[in-house]
Amino acid sequence: MSEAKPKVAFYWCASCGGCEEAIVDLNVAMLDVAAAIEIVLWPVALDHKYSDVEVLADGEIAVSFINGAIRTDEQAHIAELLRKKSGLVVAFGSCAHLGGIPGLANLTSRREIFRMSYHESPTVVNPQKTEPIPGGQCEGKEVALPEFWEQVHTLDQLIEVDYYLPGCPPMPGGIANAVNAILTGNLPAKGAVLAPDKALCETCGRRQSKDPRTRIAKIHRPHEIEADPQVCFLEQGIICCGPATRSGCGEACINGNMPCSGCYGAPPGVTDQGAKLLAAISTLFDAKTPEDAQALARQVVDPAGSFYRYGVPASVLARTIEKE
């Protein structure tokens, strides 16, 4: 490989693999990208060792794309290593950006997760009550496991992040634009989210059908009714996160006749996506008495999971307080 090619790393932390898939989905465009760069680490696709990265000079990697949230010390270790060796770090996808789906685990505790996963789940047989521990002796040898932290973190709660590529996963167009911007040095100010500033409702094709006087008399979950594909979801009593979600996905879910669940995170000016969404939706309740308000609130089955689906760790409250 030629010396001049910028070095690039891809890494996954607490991730579902969908963000890796999104890179592969670049298809033919990926070949152009691959020809223009030298990949130094990509565990899901190529056989590098961490030691290959350790021997690089600080800042030698032009850019590291890191997806997934942070919950183990192994993830933290590699993320810190890549930070040291990289000029730029891009938080790739909702999990790295906001905590993502794995971040919903912050609504419970490590203790509860271990209790369910290793003891109480109906499919578990564990008479010796074994639980993972970070390390110890086994048949005379030292063994180690990554330590599972108390809570899930966003990437920028651990290391400095230069840019954010939002989405669960990011859309191919957004990835291609970001990669081009980086390769050509045509980048916005550090810390920017590489997506438009508008809220999804401003770009959504259904916005015309939104009537400011609409009040919701009943909340429907998406599987309960057949949504009219022309009409704003909120008009139909279906929770849609468009009012407090950044645009840039091309209204992917809306076009599939599913409401937005918020994966691009908050648009500028919103400090807490979930609280903002809660306000946007509850303000539409057709209720003037406490009883009517209660009846509607109860129809929102999981408020935290609905309004912070991709962003509990990034939220102002960040996690459930564990009681002794």
User: What are the residues binding ligand SF4 (CB under 6 A)?
Assistant: 15-16, 18-19, 67-68, 93-95, 100-101, 168-169, 200-201, 204, 206-207, 210, 232-234, 240, 242-243, 245, 249, 251-254, 259-264
Residues 6 or more apart from 168 whose CB is under 8 A from it? Answer: 18, 93, 94, 95, 100, 101, 263, 310
- Identity of the residue, 136 or 205, whose beta carbon is nearer to ligand SF4 in the bound complex: 205
Shortest distance, CB of residue 324 to ligand SF4, whole angstroms? 32
Tell me the CA distances in angstroms from 112 to 138, 154, 281, one per residue in order. Answer: 26, 21, 31
Dihedral of the alpha carbons of 253, 293, 273, 268, in degrees to the nearest 10: 90
168 contacts which partner out of other proteins, ligand SF4, none, CB within 5 to 8 A by kind?
A: ligand SF4
Please give the structure tokens belonging to residue 160: 């400095």
Q: Say which residue the tokens 């468009």 belong to.
A: 242
- Identity of the residue, 181 or 275, whose beta carbon is nearer to other proteins in the bound complex: 275
Q: Which residues bind other proteins (CB under 8 A)?
A: 70, 73, 76, 107, 147, 149-151, 153, 157-158, 270-272, 274-276, 278-279, 281-283, 285, 287-290, 293-294, 296-297, 300, 302-305, 307, 313, 315-323
Shortest distance, CB of residue 148 to other proteins, whole angstroms? 10
DSSP label of 30: H
Shortest distance, CB of residue 128 to ligand SF4, whole angstroms? 33
Helix (H, G, I), strand (E, B) or coil at 213: coil
Residues 6 or more apart from 195 whose CB is under 8 A from it? Answer: 165, 166, 167, 174, 246, 247, 248, 264
68 contacts which partner out of ligand SF4, other proteins, none, CB within 5 to 8 A by kind?
A: ligand SF4
- Identity of the residue, 248 or 311, whose beta carbon is nearer to other proteins in the bound complex: 311
Helix (H, G, I), strand (E, B) or coil at 292: helix
Shortest distance, CB of residue 275 to other proteins, whole angstroms? 4
